[in-house]
A and B are shown apart, each in its own frame.
Chain A
Amino acid sequence: MRPFAYERAATAEEALARCDEETRYLGGGTNLVDLMRLGVERPARLVDVTRLPHDRIEERSSGALRIGAAVRNSDLTAHPAVRRHHPMLVQAVLSGASGQIRNQATVGGNLLQRTRCSYFQDITKPCNKREPGTGCPAIDGEHHNLAILGHSESCVATHPSDMAVALAALDATVLTRGRGGERAIPLADFYRLPGSHPERDTTLEPGELVTAVEVPPLAMPSRYRKVRERASFAFALVSIAAAADVRDGVVRDCRIALGGVAHRPWRARRAEDHLRGRPLTRENLAGAADQELAAAHPLRDNAYKLRLARNLIVRTLLELGERA
C-alpha cells in the first residue's frame, strides 16, 4: 500500500482547501480502503470528511428531506421520517452490504462507490475504467452480472449502489460544494454513462465534495426489490425501485428505476410514460417493460437480465397496485 497522509477536516472549506488531485475524501472507507489495499486507488492523502457537520437528516418545510452526506447508512434506515415517507429508500439501503458495513458506510460514500467488476478490482488486468486505454476484458470475458443498457465498447460495468437506485426513482438531488461554490445536481445528471470515458463515474468536478442529498416528498406507495445470487450480502443481478399511484385500477403516476443493469441507476422513463394513464394490467406492464428494454444490448452471458428486469417491473408494480 502506498504511504498516505490522513487528515481530518472540520469544515467543508477546510476539506476543499486540502484537496488536490492525489487526495480522496474518506467517508466510512468501506469501499475506498478496500480499493487502496488492492492498489486500485493510490491516493497520497485522505481527508476524512465524516466530522463535517453533514451528519443530520432535516425535514424541510416543503416536505423534502435533506440527508447529510456523512449520515451513516444504518442511521438513515432508522430515521423516523425516512421510514415513514420513503419505505423504498429504507428497503434499498437495508438490502445492501451487511449490518456492520452499513454502520460504517456514509450516504456520500454509498453514492460514490465504484463498480465491483472483477477486472476493475484486479490491477494485474486491463480495465478502461481503472487505466484508460488498456481495454475491457469483461466484454469477451466474465460479464454475467454486468450491464445490458447504456454500456459502450470501452466499459460494461454496473453501478453497485442500491441506495442510488431508490434515489433515482425519488428524483433526488445531490448537493455539492466545490471551488466554484455550491451546486444542486439532479441524480439523473449526477451519474454518467461510460461512453469513451468510463474512468469518470459521475459529473463531479475534481475536488467537489458531496454535502447532502435532498429527497422531495413522494405521495405514492413504493418498494425496492433486489434479486441476487444469495439471500443477503450480494450485489444485485437486477433490482428495482418502484412507486405507483393507482386509482380505480388506473396508473395515475409511477416511478421506476432499475439497478444492476447499467453504469448508473437506470431510470425507466419510457416505461413510466407508457404506463401513465393506462390500466394497471400485466399486459400493460409487460408493454411498458418492453418499451424500456428495447434499448438493451445484452452481452453473451447476461441476456437473462432482460427477462429478470421485465418480470420485476411487472411484478413489483402489480404488488404496489394491489396495495392501493
Chain B
Amino acid sequence: MPVTIATVTKIASLARIAITEEEAARIAPELDNIMGWIEQLGEVDTTDVAPIMAVIPNHLRLRDDVVNADPLTGGGIRDAVLANAPQGEHGFFTVPKVIE
C-alpha cells in the first residue's frame, strides 16, 4: 500500500509531530520507498511460527509490595521529579488548560 501525503499527515498527527504540507510532500515518497523495501518481509512463510517473546530465555520476575524500598524506584522525591519541568507551580506540573 503506497504511503501518500495523506498517510503521512495522519501518522504525523498520531505521533504528535507537527508537519507542514511541504514536509509531508517531501516525506511521503521517502517513507513509501522505505516501506516498499520493508514489504519483502511478506515473502517469508510464517505459517505456524510464533512471534518472538524473549530473545534470551528468561522469566518475568515480580517485585515485593514494599513502598520506597529503593529510592531509585520509590516515591517521596517530589523535588527530583519536578526539577526538570519546563513549567510548574505549587508542586504540580502545568500544561496549557485542557478542556474535557
Chain B associates with chain A: no
A residues with a Cβ closer than 8 A to B are none
B residues with a Cβ closer than 8 A to A are none
